[in-house]
Each structure stands twice: as C-alpha cells, then as structure tokens.
A and B are shown apart, each in its own frame.
Chain A
Amino acid sequence: MAEHAGPGTRSAVVDTPPQREVDVVVVGAGPAGSAAALEVARAGHSVVLLERGPFPGSKNVYGGVVYGRVLDELVPRWWEQMPVQRWVTRRSTMIMTPTQALTVDFRTQAWGGPPYNGATAHRCDLDGWLAGLATEAGATLVPSTVATGLLRDASGAVVGVRTDRPDGDLTAKVVIACDGVNSFLAKEAGMFVGKPTGHVTLGVKETLRLPRNVIDERFGVTGQHGVDIEILGCTRGIPGGGFLYTNLDSVSVGVVVDPHGLAAKKVRPEELVAELKRHPAIEPLVRGGELLEYSAHLIPEGGYDTMPELVTDGFLVAGDAAAMCLAAGIWLEGVNFAIGAGMYAGRAAADALAAKDTSKSGLASYQRMVDESFVLGDHRKLRRVPGLVLGQRMQQEYPAVLCDLAQGLFQVDNPRPKPGLLKLIRRVLKWHGVKTRDVLSDALTGVRSFG
C-alpha cells in the first residue's frame, strides 16, 4: 500500500515493540505541536516533533492575530521575544451591505504595552519561533516528514507513527496528534466516530504590500500599533465573514466562507475578496496595495459539539485537529486554543510517562486540564454561537437591518420629523421580513452565550 497521508489512511498493526524509540512523537509543528513538544522536553522526556513542511509555518495560513496571554504560562516575558508585526490596539467589527457599513470601533492604549492583548504575526515567523522554543528545550524537530499513519498494537493502542522516510516507522509511548484541521490521524484512530463531520470553512487571504507610514495614516495608528477589523455581511449571504489586519508594511485581507455555499451562488472565493476590497468602506484602506501572496486554508468552525474524543490509549489530540477553533464572524481565534491545548497535552503525556501508565486512563489528566481551562471552557460557553453567527438571519438579514437602522437614525429628513426608535425598528424589521420573535430568540441565545 502506498504510504501517504490522507482521508484513506489505515493504521499498521505491529507487534508490541519491546522498546520505544522515543517517549513522545508529536505530529505537526504548528502552535499546538510546538507547545506540546516544549512541555514534554521540559519535563525531561525524549520527544520528536514531525512537520511535513520544509520549515514550521510553511503549510499554515491564518488571518493574522495571535492572542498571546496563554504564553504567560510557558514563556516569561514572551512579548520581548515573539516575532510580532504590530500590537493590536484598535479592534473593529464592521457590518456591511454592498453600499453601507456600520462599525463598532474600540481602541485602548492599554493593549499597546505589556502584557498586550493581540498581535499580528506571520505564521512562518510565529511557528518558527514556537518550534525554536521546543528545540531549545531539547525536542528534536524533523521537518519535511509526513506522518502517514499510526502504528497500533494488537489491542489497538497507539504505539507510534509511520512516516514517509525510508525505514520510517517511529515507535513511541505517546503520540500527540497536532496535525491541524484535516486531522487524518485522529480520524484514523476513530476519535470522530459518532461526531458530526464536515464542519469546515474555507479561508482565503491576500497579503498586500503598503508602506508603513501609509498604513499608520489610513488606520490611525502610530509606532508599532495595529488594527484588527472583523467583517460581517461581505459574503453574499454565504455563511462566513471577512477580515482586515495590519502588518508592519502590509495588510492581510480575506474572507472565510462555507465552501459548500460557493457553487450555489456561482462565485469563487477570490471574487469575494475582490468585492470586499472594492467596498466603499474598505477600498480607501487597501487602495494601491501590491499582492505579495495569495493563500488559503481550512478552519474547523463547528465548535464544541463537533469536537472528537481527545484521549485514547497512547494517543492525544490537540488544536485544530480537535476542532478547538473559534471561527464565528466576529472572532477568529485558534492559535491561543492550540497553544493551550498543546501545553496541557504535553503535560499530561509527561505525567503519564512519569507514572509509567500511558493508557487512556493514564493520560486522562489531559481531558481534565482542558475541561477546567479556557480551552474547553470558552468553547462550551460559546457552543451555540457558530449556529447563531453562521445562521441564515445573521448572514442574510441582520447586516441590512442594522445598517438601515443606523441610516434611519442618522439621516436628517427635514421637514419630516425624526422617527421614534421603536417605530423605526418595527419599520426596518418589517421591510426586511424579519420576525420580532426571531430577533428576540437570537438575542436571548446571544445573552446566554456571552452573559
């Protein structure tokens, strides 16, 4: 059988190896994998970090903001080392129709100094830095190597991985799958049995070069401060959203969309990005930007209810591979969850090794640690939010309702008197065929999730 990683991979059954080549194999040098390898190495165990790309970050794409506070637990004064483009001190949520835009814009100088809040960074810089921390602590990074499947003993316990190198089997006491959204290893291990699958959105991004001072002027920032804009209503009603982030001398602009929705609307993802760039609220910000790179990647968007089992004998799953990503309109967070989950997975593996029990029950502390922390805490709390934000009303009706409400409030129609607010709301809802009952129920879901 050909040894390649994909949806069709099968585990190889091997005799229980008398001795394992390493204590832990971590698959994938993204944020989850590097955090896991770092904690295993720090605890004094041997760990190999496999990465299929030629260098960490080479296969990875995100919007561009990393929320770094989770690093407090891993790297003291991390902000002095992390390769950052700009520190986000201004965060906006923009709701648009083709001709309107309503923006909630928040800025605080507090996010411009330690310990900061969010930062833009490119993935080869960020992932390279994180992997570097792991190797400095003693982990062995093996790039340009694909884990093509799991090695399992007769009882089904995971005892290592097969790779695409000659003599590529690598036995280990624990395998931590941090292989990202496609999550072939966890699927192969049966961790998704009974879970809804296919909850992915497609993210496409353009990185556009603009001079640093032009970015400062257009976005109203100075120094190394930057801006994060999340956008709703820019995807022609296909479930999704848009984003625009400032790097030092480039901006990242893109959309995330339900890939199943594109064919129905006969539109391609890069056309949605082009439309967004032509929007009257966005065009003045990105005008003249020269395309430096076009890129794309999938995002797990299903949230808590689509997460796989996280622990089995000799095997842990962390990060996007476990759908630990929050991608619902006004949020795009995943790196922070990946680092947190990877860190706990690494600690659980180290504890299990110390206790000489790497079975499912020996590794169970991972489940407890993610349950009790923000990693699953946030996702549990926000489990209804993907359905709300990606639902039909939020995608197709509310942007226009809110923009028309704002227009009604701000438009001066003299000699007609100003409309009362309630009357205006009723009129706009009726106009767009939205039922008050639905608005109230959505508002309640929102209050329950965020309250």
Chain B
Amino acid sequence: MSPGQSYGLQAFDDRMSTVDFDVAERPHITVDNDVCRSCQTTDCVYACPAKLFVPTSDGGILFNYEQCFECGTCYQVCSGENALSWTYPDGGHGVAFRKG
C-alpha cells in the first residue's frame, strides 16, 4: 500500500469495501427526483456518510440504497417535502458492522 492510501486519500469505493452488507431486494430508501430538482440546499450530498446521493447533470439526484449505513442522516437534513421515503431494511438485511 502506498503511504497516501492509509491517510484517507483512498477512493471512496475502497473505503466502502471495508463494510459488510447483506443487500435486500427492496430499496428501503427512495428519492423523489421531482422534489430534488428544485432543492436549493442538497444537504444530503455532503452529509450522507456513505456518499449515496450523487447530483446529476439535470439537477436531480442519483441514489442507490445498497451500501447504506441506515443512520438516518439524510432524512434529518433533507429540506424537500416528501423527497425521501425512508425505512429500515427488513430484518437481518443491510449493513453489518464488525468494528462498531
């Protein structure tokens, strides 16, 4: 490993590859892009620790639920009315931390 890698410069994917997920079929969080397109703050883009909210060129948000920590940060910071439908994944699915 190059020295830089252990200093937090590794690509985000490498960072996420250290986390175990049992991905469920049901997307437990969904994003309504019609709301996001008129969002002024896009707090989710900065605050989601798993970096799952990716701005698209048309002003919307690309979201993938698969590597979610289920923390709740996004629904706490989201200012768009009903932009997110947020639930926990069904029992046993989702993230499984080993070093929490």
Chain B CB within 8 A of A173 CB: no
Identify which of residues 107-157 in chain A touch chain B, using a CB-to-CB cut-off of 8 Å.
122-124, 143-146
CB-based contact A263/B46 at 8 Å: yes
Kindly state the separation between the CA atoms of A144 and B7 in the bound complex, as whole angstroms.
35
User: A58 — which chain B residues lie within 8 A by C-beta?
Assistant: 95-97, 100
- The proximity string for B residues 35-71 relative to A, scoring 1 for CB distances below 8 Å and 0 otherwise, is 0000001110111011100000000000000000111
**Complex Cα–Cα for A42 and B42 (A):** 49
A347 interface residue, CB < 8 Å from B?
no
Is A146 a contact of B8 with CB atoms below 8 Å?
no
Residues of chain B within 8 A (CB-CB) of A409 are none
Q: Are B18 and A144 in contact (CB under 8 A)?
A: no
Q: Is the interface of B mostly helix, strand, loop or mixed?
A: loop
A295:B91 contact, CB within 8 angstroms: no
- Number of B residues with CB within 8 Å of any CB on chain A: 46
Verify B95–A294 contact, CB threshold 8 A. Answer: no
Among the listed A7, A145, A270, A289, which residue makes an inter-chain contact with B75, where contact means beta carbons less than 8 Å apart? Answer: A7
B90 within 8 A of A: yes
Contact B92 A143 (CB under 8 A): yes
How many residue pairs link A and B with beta carbons under 8 A? The number is: 158
| Cβ contacts under 8 Å, B43 to chain A | 259-260, 262-263
**One of B8, B88, B96 near A54 (C-beta < 8 A):** B96
**Distance in angstroms between the alpha carbons of A214 and B7 in the assembled complex:** 17
Binds B, one of A229-237, A271-279, A360-368, A382-390: A271-279
A182 to B12, CA, bound (A): 26
Q: With A59-B70, A198-B76, A202-B71 in contact, is A144–B3 under 8 Å at CB?
A: no
Do the beta carbons of B90 and A164 come within 8 Å of each other?
yes
Q: Decide: A60 and B28 in contact? CB cutoff 8 A.
A: no
By the criterion CB–CB under 8 Å, are B98 and A4 in contact? no
In the bound complex, residues from chain A placing their C-beta under 8 Å from that of B19 are: 293-295
Q: Flag whether A178 is at the interface (Cβ < 8 A).
A: no
List residues of chain B with CB within 8 A of the CB of A204.
49
Least Cβ–Cβ distance between A123 and chain B, in angstroms: 4
Nearest 10 interchain pairs by C-beta:
A274-B8, A144-B92, A296-B49, A123-B100, A4-B87, A6-B87, A207-B99, A262-B46, A61-B100, A144-B91
- Give 11 CB contacts A-B under 8 Å: A2-B87, A57-B100, A165-B91, A182-B72, A202-B49, A206-B8, A260-B43, A263-B47, A274-B7, A295-B69, A296-B73
